[in-house]
């Protein structure tokens, strides 16, 4: 096989999200055998999360240049499930890049089954027009009746106005960000009706998403942020409509938001490649730096979808906190003067021994002090603090009495 990388990081993220969304019931071994890979050759087959397994599998195939296996993954495993709407557009783009859409779709059994009854009737009429004419006319009448019935049902549904449940919204002060609860793919469902590629995407419903706390960048504005099942980040003001602001992350990932100055909002999410990403707005949320999937990657190595705690103890300083795979709390910071994230090269560990991805609550009681709180598996809350100008180091973790 040629040593050529066919997919970039965006393509890999897309495939990971679709594999997670597909909720395949087959085992990892069966998936590998289906795409022509010997599962015994994979050292990461066991003891990895689903997202990590998919990430390592796709990177492995990409690194060894196994285009055939990648094509089977796209066209044999995913394309029959996501065969229309925006998901289909993503897969089509990858299939074209791999030059495999014709090779594997031509003889795919699922595609053969997609021949419509009308096309079968037409072919039969062509072969024996007199004997099949009555069947074709009857079929047309049946389609007409079904269509009229569907229109009536649609009219009834659209004219009724059910009162939706109001989701709980947590409003935070500009200097405090509380991480959302851990997200579980077992509680996430995929909509049975994918949006048409020629129509605008439907407005996201909070009832079908993992809600996150809101942030007030000014006294008049309060914004909410969610990652929907399509992996995109959406935002809305309290009285506005949901709109997409880019990104491609594990569905349901918590989005952390902080307002360091009036009208300035910074967002943070851990992506499928375990890196932390950020996007910002300097006009109160009207425009976002990551709107065209241009979220900035700021380093790290954390569980995909892990909550990022963000706090602005000063208008020109932002501090981030995440629990890593080794159980330690890691931090990265940004200052307006330097205008660069410290964690791009190396996130600083603050010790600790907690479950990976555990939420960290951070609060700045004054511009020179930060306090962290973590609820451990033993049911006790642990805390650590930092005082600027005293020791420049974080205190040892202690149990809150």
Give the per-residue pLDDT at 223: 82
Can you give the pLDDT at residue 334?
Answer: 95
What are the structure tokens assigned to 92, written together? 């089509």
Q: DSSP class of residue 283?
A: S
Measure the CA–CA gap between 184 and 17, rounded to whole angstroms: 14
pLDDT of 193 reads 33
What does the pLDDT read at residue 266?
95
Which pLDDT score is estimated for 145? 52
Distance CA 252, CA 187 (A): 10
The answer to whether the predicted template modeling score (pTM) of the entire model surpasses 0.85 is no
**Would you call 196 helix, strand, or coil by DSSP?**
coil
Bridge partners (DSSP) of residue 172 are 215
Q: What is the pLDDT of residue 100?
A: 77
Query: What is the per-residue DSSP string for 87-134?
Result: HHHHHHHHHHHHT-HHHHHTT-HHHHTT--HHHHHHHHHHHSHHHHHH
pLDDT of res. 88: 81
| Residue 335 confidence (pLDDT) | 94
Spell out, as residue ranges, where the chain has pLDDT lower than 70: 1-4, 23-26, 101-214, 216-221, 391
- The per-residue pLDDT for 236 is 87
């Amino acid at each position: 096989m040629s040593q050529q990388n066919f997919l970039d990081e965006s393509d890999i993220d897309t495939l990971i999200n679709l594999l997670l969304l597909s909720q395949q019931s087959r085992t990892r071994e069966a998936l590998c055998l289906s795409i022509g890979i010997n599962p015994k050759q994979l050292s990461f087959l066991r003891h990895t999360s689903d997202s990590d397994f998919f990430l390592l599998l796709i990177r492995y195939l990409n690194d060894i240049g196994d285009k055939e296996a990648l094509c089977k993954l796209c066209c044999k495993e995913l394309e029959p499930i996501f065969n229309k709407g925006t998901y289909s557009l993503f897969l089509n783009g990858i299939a074209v890049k791999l030059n495999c859409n014709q090779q594997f779709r031509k003889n795919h059994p699922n595609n053969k089954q997609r021949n419509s009854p009308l096309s079968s009737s037409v072919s039969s009429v062509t072969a024996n027009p007199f004997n099949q004419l009555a069947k074709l006319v009857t079929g047309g009448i049946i389609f007409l009746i079904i269509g009229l019935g569907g229109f009536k049902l649609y009219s009834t549904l659209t004219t009724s106005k059910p009162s939706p449940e109001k989701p709980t919204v947590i409003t935070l002060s500009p200097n405090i960000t509380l991480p959302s609860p851990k997200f579980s793919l077992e509680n996430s469902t995929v909509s049975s009706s994918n949006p048409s590629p020629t129509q605008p995407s439907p407005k996201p419903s909070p009832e079908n998403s993992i809600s996150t706390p809101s942030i007030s960048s000014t006294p008049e504005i309060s914004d909410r942020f969610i990652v929907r099942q399509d992996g995109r980040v959406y935002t809305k003001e309290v009285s506005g409509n949901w709109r997409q602001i880019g990104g491609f992350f594990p569905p349901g990932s918590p989005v952390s938001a902080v307002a360091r100055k009036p009208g300035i909002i910074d967002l943070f999410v851990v992506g499928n490649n375990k890196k932390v990403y950020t996007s910002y707005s300097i006009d109160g949320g009207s425009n976002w730096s990551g709107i065209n999937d241009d979220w900035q990657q700021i380093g790290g190595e954390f569980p995909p979808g892990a909550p990022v705690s963000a706090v602005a103890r000063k208008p020109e300083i932002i501090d981030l906190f995440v629990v890593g795979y080794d159980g330690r709390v890691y931090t990265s910071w940004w200052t307006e003067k330097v205008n660069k994230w410290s964690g791009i090269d190396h996130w600083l560990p603050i010790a600790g021994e907690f479950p990976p991805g555990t939420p960290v609550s951070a609060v700045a009681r004054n511009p020179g002090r930060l306090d962290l709180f973590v609820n451990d598996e033993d049911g006790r809350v642990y805390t650590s603090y930092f005082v600027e100008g005293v020791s420049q180091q974080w205190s040892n973790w202690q149990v809150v009495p």
